[in-house]
Structure 1
Amino acid sequence: MQLADFIAGSVGGAFGVAVGHPLDTVKVKMQTQRKFTGVWQCIRSTYRTEGMYGFYKGMSMPITTVSVSSSVVFGTYRNALQVFHQLSYKSADAPSAKLHIFLSGLAGGIAQVSVMSPADIVKVRLQCQTEPYEGSDLKARPKYRGPMHCLFTIAREEGVLGLYRGAGALALRDGPSFATYFLVYNTVCEWLSPDNNSQAVGKKTDWKVVMFAGGLSGMCGWCIGTPMDVIKARLQTDGMDKRRYRGLFHCVRESVRIEGPGVLFKGLVLNCIRAFPVNMAVFVMYELVLSLIRTES
């Protein structure tokens, strides 16, 4: 087992959350609340009613659990890739097949759903809860007073399975998304390597390549994952007031019927803008921590 990959993945994931959470909040609000007509209108409205704190609501839960979920993604990816490599090649230096990279990324994305789903629904519900900041004239009392209160409230009102509402959409988002993510990262690194050798995750030394490949892979991953991201967010917020969707397919059907096919790409531009710096940071920290661990060992 590649323990170093689990450790490096956890550090990289936590760093990525800190970088990208404000834009993630804007994206979630636009996907789930029809009152927002554009990015800047959502940003202005959030700042006016909630202050700067409004952009960081729900961050404490993912930043404490993303270490585990990112560890699972990167660790599963590397271990699955190693198994494929051992089954297919005699030489340890042989480059991994693109199909193996894709399938390993798919396994990593799906594997983290069991860990990520409860934290993700808490994050989304806190982000969508309009809570006035201190000093505001608004006196509305929020339903959820914080991450743990939100977690226990969902479990009490909707049962433990309520914490996994939208988990199917999350798996359909993260499986293909991470498969694309790792495939693009490895392919771009291979193209830009001076020695033209395959550089699988965990073997980088050129930081400019790491930064560009990481940012681009994140954008490509979100291009694949955004439709299910929209459905996931809607299923997760369903139940905050009244229940509208009977399940994943009903949510897709109703969303498209009412708002048109374009609804499935709500937040795509924001996802791509956010993805570049976030995933650049994730891979830089991942490769840095991995190189430090391997140097000391």
Structure 2
Amino acid sequence: MSTGVFAGSVQSFVVTPVDVLKIRLQVQTAVPGQKSYVGAFGMARQIIQRAGVQGLFRGLPVTLLRDTPSHGVYFYVYHHIKDIIESKGHAQCSAVGAPAVGMFLAGGVAGVVSWLSVYPLDVCKSRVQALDRDRSPYKTWVECAAQIYRLEGAAPFWRGLIATLYRAFLVNAAIFTAYESCMSGLNA
């Protein structure tokens, strides 16, 4: 679990600028071909011109708060479920067939539990990252959370959760199945 926590904290420094760019590109209303449209490099250039390099790290505190514990939960749940499956089936979760189904389930459940543990933080992170600090109604993620709750109630903190959980199950099931299959092949 501690390795997952460490990995989550380190990767936050890479994920934050990518998320800022992704979210800004998603909320942009111009379409390719329009004069006001900008791609990823143009968006990065705009952010740096307006807010400096630190603009690419907008939302880093909430990204750290989201990713640090969630990665610990993610790896803990995966290995715990994998251990249960292996103890029941007396087989390693690394071969083709029934053990592969176990890896698939363990990975999928790990992804779902990980996202459930931090989803409201992701909502705040995305809203904070959508605009530069000087253009945003939110200066911090805590202010964002308070304002969302005050103006909209608790529902927005869970908006989009079902789609995220479906995606989390499938993506993480595939990731761990591929990882364990590769490791099994390398160790054979």
TM-score by length of 2: 0.87
- Counterpart position of 1:255: 148
- Counterpart position of 1:116: 15
* Matching of residue 274 in structure 1 with residue 164 in structure 2: no
Which of 14, 26, 36 is the matching residue for 1:141? 36
SS in 2 for 1:245: coil
SS in 1 for 2:117: helix
1:31-57 CA distance string (max 9 Å, x none): xxxxxxxxxxxxxxxxxxxxxxxxxxx
Would you say the 8 A contact 2:8–2:69 is kept in 1? Answer: yes
Query: In the TM superposition, what are the counterparts of 1:230-249 in structure 2 within 5 Å?
Result: 230-239=123-132, 242-249=135-142
Deviation at 1:280, TM superposition (A): 1.2
CA distance in 1 between partners of 2:30 and 2:181 (Å): 38
- Structure 1 gaps, min length 5: 1-101
Q: 1:236 to 1:173 in 2, by over 3 A?
A: same
Would you say the 8 A contact 2:128–2:136 is kept in 1? Answer: no
* Matching of residue 219 in structure 1 with residue 112 in structure 2: yes
* Matching of residue 168 in structure 1 with residue 61 in structure 2: yes
Which of 60, 74, 90 is the matching residue for 1:195? 90
CA distance in 1 between partners of 2:180 and 2:22 (Å): 27
* Structure 1 residue identity aligned to 2:12: V
Would you say the 8 A contact 2:133–2:139 is kept in 1? Answer: no
CA distance in 1 between partners of 2:178 and 2:121 (Å): 27
Q: CA RMSD in A?
A: 2.2
Q: 1:162 to 1:262 in 2, by over 3 A?
A: same
Would you say the 8 A contact 1:169–1:228 is kept in 2? Answer: yes
CA distance in 2 between partners of 1:122 and 1:169 (Å): 16
Would you say the 8 A contact 2:16–2:57 is kept in 1? Answer: yes
- Counterpart position of 1:183: 76
* Structure 2 residue identity aligned to 1:208: V
Q: 1:129 to 1:292 in 2, by over 3 A?
A: farther
Deviation at 1:141, TM superposition (A): 3.2
Deviation at 1:140, TM superposition (A): 7.7
Would you say the 8 A contact 1:166–1:232 is kept in 2? Answer: yes
Deviation at 1:263, TM superposition (A): 1.9
* Matching of residue 210 in structure 1 with residue 103 in structure 2: yes
Q: 1:240 to 1:267 in 2, by over 3 A?
A: farther
Deviation at 1:219, TM superposition (A): 0.7
Tell me the number of residue pairs that the alignment of Structure 1 and Structure 2 aligns. 183
Would you say the 8 A contact 2:82–2:103 is kept in 1? Answer: yes
Identity %: 32
Deviation at 1:204, TM superposition (A): 3.0
TM-score by length of 1: 0.57
CA distance in 1 between partners of 2:29 and 2:187 (Å): 46
Would you say the 8 A contact 2:24–2:131 is kept in 1? Answer: no
* Matching of residue 106 in structure 1 with residue 1 in structure 2: no
CA distance in 2 between partners of 1:272 and 1:115 (Å): 23
Would you say the 8 A contact 1:226–1:267 is kept in 2? Answer: no
- Structure 2 gaps, min length 5: none
SS in 1 for 2:168: helix
* Structure 1 residue identity aligned to 2:70: S
* Structure 1 residue identity aligned to 2:66: R
Query: In the TM superposition, what are the counterparts of 1:32-181 in structure 2 within 5 Å?
Result: 102-132=1-31, 141-142=36-37, 145-181=38-74
